Amino acid sequence: MHNTRDYCKLHLVLWFKRSNYEDSPLHIIISLRLNNYKDQILAAKTMDELVALCKRRGFIYQSSEIYGGLQGLYDYGPLGVELKNNLKMTWWASMVYERDDIEGLDASILTHSDVLKHSGHEDTFTDPLIDCKSCGLRFRSDQIPEQCKDEELTEPRDFNLMFKTNVGPIDDGSSFAYLRPETAQQIFINFKNIVDSTSQSLPFGIAQIGKAFRNEITPRNFIFRVREFEQMELEFFVKPGTDEEWHKKWVDSRLEWWINQGISKNKIQLQTIEGEELSHYSKSTIDIMYKFPHGLEELEGIANRTDFDLGSHSKNQNEFNITSKVIENKASNAKLAIQDLDSKEWVIPYVIEPSAGVDRGVLAVLNEAFNIEKLPDGKERTVLSFPRHLSPIKAAVVPLKKNNNDIVEKAKEIKNRLQKCQLGRVVIENTGNIGKSYRKHDEVGTPLCITVDFDTLDKGTVTVRNRDTMKQDVIDQSKIVDYFTNYFKQ
């Protein structure tokens, strides 16, 4: 993109493409004015191909589709849920299982209004909203199309992105809760519980994966900007003064993690957030930006949230040397402090927060994996070259003849043996057409297809076909479990 204006125009086009306004006169006017932006529109074709593949193969569907769809909401199908779970599990393992200084949490989504009052979300979690009196549409103030003339626009007003819901049987507005806009706040309000129930001391972290909800003014670009999404958030608590060093460490560590998920280094950029863009709680934020099909956008943010959150949710704030600006808290009944083992003083720690979007991660992983390859015979094949650990299906067992009972039973027995290895989903692919089965499994990213044929019955061998090399190994079926487990250990 050349500048912010081009970027906004592209988003507008993509938004029209995804919404029901594609045939409206406004869309036609905008399209006519955008002939110079063909390159970007062509780039969106890749997104269209991804969207089509996701629907065709059961990764992701529009939510409530049979009733016309709900904008900004998506459902993960049989393969989508496996891919998403694999990504989340890899994150969880890297945070909680492979380290000794991080604990896990799974807290509630419905959130007490005091939490989001003291976190600053009630006052500041807003986007500037503008109405166009001529076309009747609403836009974020940085996304106004050119043909909406200034005199037709209302003054920007703050639009709070949090969803509210009624709690209990009385619906008079007196008892409500928010659907959390980030998973982080539940981590902060559970800080004392976790310190008291574990043996952690500074520095240590709390990790959580879960849903977050934001009433985005213009959700767009498939699962990139949605109203209901998942986050993988770590709050890592450190001694004040060591925060900058830890911030740097976490940026490096998160970059490395994304690269291990198959994200190309050359599609990633680090962006330092400055000035007015910096959130009210942050001393410094570095975003990991990824070149999505629609442009370079945030995949994960790593913020130095200082002592703002624990300080905001603490009682007796005056007893501590809180460095950030917090509002007085008379509602909390806990001091969110920890004893420094060296000085024996009670301190409110600083916190470093790597916060990644699961859905944006899935989109990036799909984008990286998606490939249309030219084969030596001139034909093309679509292949999702996922890293092995992320593949939604780990192996497909393919009987040569779908009506031959002995072959099918043998295939089922092998499938069950592989499934018991607990490396992920293994399926039987009983179409009776080997070529079609291979093509289908290339397209959903299955690394191994194991064919059971007459030789399996006569000589005890199976043929293992590799997605990436398309090479076939004939092996003794007694070795199939070792072959399979070794392949996924690499």
Residues that bind ligand ATP (CB under 6 A): 182, 214, 216, 225-226, 229, 231, 298-301, 355-357, 359-360
Retrieve residue 155's tokens: 């003054």
Q: How far is the CB of 181 from ligand ATP (least distance, A)?
A: 8
- Cβ–Cβ contacts within 10 Å for residue 342, how many? 8
Q: How far is the CB of 158 from ligand ATP (least distance, A)?
A: 15
Coil vs helix vs strand at 12: helix
Nearest-5° angle of CA 171, CA 73, CA 96?
95
Residue of closest CB approach to ligand ATP: 357
Does 25 sit behind a cis peptide bond, omega within 30 degrees of 0 on the bond before it?
no
170 near 89, Cβ under 8 Å? no
Coil vs helix vs strand at 344: coil
Residues facing 288 on adjacent strands: 270, 300
**How many Å apart are CA 432 and CA 358, to the nearest integer?**
36
**How many Å apart are CA 353 and CA 282, to the nearest integer?**
10
Element (H, E) at 88: helix 78-92
Q: Which is nearer to ligand ATP, 192 or 305 (CB)?
A: 305
Q: How far is the CB of 449 from ligand ATP (least distance, A)?
A: 34
209: left (phi over 0), alpha (psi -120 to 50) or beta: beta
Coil vs helix vs strand at 178: strand
Q: How far is the CB of 353 from ligand ATP (least distance, A)?
A: 9
Q: How far is the CB of 63 from ligand ATP (least distance, A)?
A: 14
Coil vs helix vs strand at 300: strand
Q: Which is nearer to ligand ATP, 362 or 464 (CB)?
A: 362
Strands 126-131 and 138-140, bridge-based pairing: antiparallel
Q: Which is nearer to ligand ATP, 211 or 459 (CB)?
A: 211
Q: How far is the CB of 136 from ligand ATP (least distance, A)?
A: 24
Q: Which is nearer to ligand ATP, 243 or 429 (CB)?
A: 243
104 near 98, Cβ under 8 Å? no
Q: Which is nearer to ligand ATP, 4 or 36 (CB)?
A: 4
Q: How far is the CB of 231 from ligand ATP (least distance, A)?
A: 5
Q: Starting at the earlier edge strand, list the strands of the sheet with 448-452.
A: 425-428, 393-399, 448-452, 461-466, 472-476
Q: How far is the CB of 425 from ligand ATP (least distance, A)?
A: 25
Q: How far is the CB of 225 from ligand ATP (least distance, A)?
A: 4
Phi, psi of 362 (to 5 degrees): -60, -40
Q: Which is nearer to ligand ATP, 181 or 392 (CB)?
A: 181
Q: What is the DSSP letter of 77?
A: -
Tokens 């209302």 — which residue? 154
Q: Which is nearer to ligand ATP, 70 or 434 (CB)?
A: 70
Q: Which is nearer to ligand ATP, 205 or 301 (CB)?
A: 301
Q: Which is nearer to ligand ATP, 300 or 453 (CB)?
A: 300
